[in-house]
Amino acid sequence: MTLHVYNCETSTIRSEMVRRTKADGAFYGLRLHMNTDQTITLWGTSPEQLMQVVQSLVHTVANTQPSELPTVPGQMST
């Protein structure tokens, strides 16, 4: 599944750290709330593991050349 998230002047994204306790341990998340009533949550089994996920995303964005892909605003594809 591909989810397109556009950061523009009509979009507001607010981040929040969350913790969930399950029978097999705690999970830590970085939740991104959007003004469209949608959220994206990145999960890890520790705050350090969650930080590694976020750092990996930052590294990918910083070190990847953009490619031109045809898109339709608001389109979700699988």
Interval 30-45: pLDDT, tens:
998 887 778 889 889 9
3 is a domain residue: no
Q: What is the structure's pLDDT at 51?
A: 92
Who has greater pLDDT, 66 or 28?
Answer: 28
Q: Which residues pair with 43 in a beta bridge?
A: 29
69 is a domain residue: no
How many domains does the chain fold into? Answer: 1
What's the first-to-final CA gap in the chain, in angstroms? 4
1 is a domain residue: no
With a cut of 80, say whether residue 26 has pLDDT above it: yes
25 is a domain residue: yes
CB under 8 Å to 77, separation ≥6 — which residues? Answer: 1, 2
34 is a domain residue: yes
Residue 21: which domain range? 13-62
Q: What is the structure's pLDDT at 27?
A: 93
Single-letter code of the amino acid located at 3: L
What strands lie across the sheet with 13-22, from one edge to the other? Answer: 13-22, 25-34, 39-44
List, for residues 42-72, the tens digit of each pLDDT value.
Answer: 889 999 999 998 899 888 888 888 777 776 6
Which 3 state secondary structure label does DSSP give 46?
Answer: coil
39 is a domain residue: yes
